[in-house]
Amino acid sequence: MKELANFLAGAAERGQQILVLCHHNADPDAVASAIVLTEVLNRLGARAKAGVSESLSLISQNLLRAFGREIAINPPLEAGLVVLVDTSSLEHLGKLGEQLEQKAPKLVVIDHHRPVEAMKQLASFYFVQEEFASESELILQLVRELGAELTPEGASLLLAGIISDTAHFRFAKDQTFEAVNSLIKAGVNYRRVLEALRLPEDPSKRVAMLKAAQRVELRRIHGRLVVLSELGSFEGDAASMLVRIGADVAIVGSEEKGRIRLSGRARQEILKTLGLHLGELMEELGKQFGGSGGGHAGAASMNGEGELEEAKKYLFKALQQKLKPKE
Ligand SMILES: [Mn+2]
């Protein structure tokens, strides 16, 4: 890390052009890392620019809008030095990766994914630490090593990267919390970060979820909570929602002009203890109703012809068998 910091500080002091680049469909961890590192290098004297290959994820677009930042999409590769962040290989850069290979500028790789041998050969500096839960934590350490200060907004961006890559700290390591602590000291605005990471919800989806909940028909089968509901769209989302709020098995169906569609979800626990497989059940149902069906054990769907009432009857009968406790 020290060596890498010295190398980057030297390049910055010489006022070098540096392009900090991250992978396509860039997530908040990637864009936060690219933008914060770029800003720090610029404060140290570099002419650095942040860029991304092809596109940004929706949540990243939200994040940048919230913090008034921009990142160049498919930037020109003019810089003599290119730093890749959160990007383990050139393949994650699409066309830009091919151009990079041809132009062959000096390359630095700073990453937290599995190391890629070919990149090790290609890079002048290869700094990959797989044990880091997020690239943002790596960048935080690098900023410290560079002797630079983070602005409160820079700290907030890195926190957004950490929250996003750790799925709200589910995959956090002990050291993640040390990083968060030091970001808080640098002036993070946690509320603002959380707000920026929330995607505006589709109003029609919200109405659909409420309708699905309203139309629930609840049955107890061998002590298990089985629910059925009707909805013309978002059936899969609705079934997931019904399992989340308490169902063991949730089936959401629709019927239109003699065509039926069913989507099912089940709790993990029930799949394990009873060996229930919704994919098989939906396949059976698809055949029964002149259509097709299938999927995973816990998430499956079917479509066919007939009446929803008939499909329901069939389902309840099948579940009577399949939810029977094992002797
Ligand atoms: Mn990452």
Q: Is residue 186 part of a domain?
A: yes
Distance (Å) from CA 135 to ligand 1 centroid: 5
Among the candidates 196, 226, 255, a domain finishes at 196
| 327 has a pLDDT exceeding 80 | no
Distance (Å) from CA 112 to ligand 1 centroid: 7
In this predicted structure, what is the pLDDT of residue 276?
94
Q: Is residue 292 part of a domain?
A: yes
Distance (Å) from CA 82 to ligand 1 centroid: 18
Residues 191, 208, single domain; the answer is no
Q: Domain containing 33 — which CATH number?
A: 3.90.1640.10
Residues 28, 160, single domain; the answer is yes
Mean pLDDT over 28-33 rounds to: 98
| 121 has a pLDDT exceeding 90 | yes
Residues 64, 22, single domain; the answer is yes
Mean pLDDT over 219-232 rounds to: 96
In this predicted structure, what is the pLDDT of residue 200?
78
Residues 183, 233, single domain; the answer is no
Residues 78, 192, single domain; the answer is yes
Residues 28, 167, single domain; the answer is yes
Domain extent, residue 89, equals 2-196
In this predicted structure, what is the pLDDT of residue 142?
97
The total domain count for the chain is 2
Residues 170, 76, single domain; the answer is yes
Distance (Å) from CA 301 to ligand 1 centroid: 33
Residues 264, 216, single domain; the answer is yes
pLDDT digits (tens, 9 = 90+) for 130-171: 999 999 999 999 999 999 999 999 999 999 999 999 999 999
Distance (Å) from CA 323 to ligand 1 centroid: 41
Distance (Å) from CA 113 to ligand 1 centroid: 7
Distance CA 226, CA 235 (A): 16
Q: Is residue 50 part of a domain?
A: yes
pLDDT digits (tens, 9 = 90+) for 252-309: 999 999 999 999 999 999 999 999 999 999 999 999 999 999 998 999 999 999 999 9
Distance (Å) from CA 32 to ligand 1 centroid: 10
Residues 152, 216, single domain; the answer is no
Among the candidates 140, 171, 196, a domain finishes at 196
Q: Is residue 314 part of a domain?
A: yes
In this predicted structure, what is the pLDDT of residue 9?
96
Q: Is residue 327 part of a domain?
A: no
Distance CA 164, CA 158 (A): 10
What spatial distance separates the first Cα and last Cα of the chain, rounded to whole Å? 59
Among the candidates 162, 196, 230, a domain finishes at 196
Return the closest-CA partner of residue 28 out of 199, 215, 223.
Answer: 199
Mean pLDDT over 238-250 rounds to: 97
Residues 187, 54, single domain; the answer is yes
Distance CA 111, CA 175 (A): 16
- Whole-number average pLDDT of the chain: 95
- Residues linked to residue 252 through DSSP beta bridges, in sequence order: 229, 263
Residues 33, 167, single domain; the answer is yes
pTM of the full structure: 0.74
Residues 17, 138, single domain; the answer is yes
Q: Which residues surround ligand 1, an ion (CB under 5 A)?
A: 29, 86, 135, 165
Distance (Å) from CA 165 to ligand 1 centroid: 6
Q: Domain containing 244 — which CATH number?
A: 3.10.310.40
Q: Is residue 169 part of a domain?
A: yes
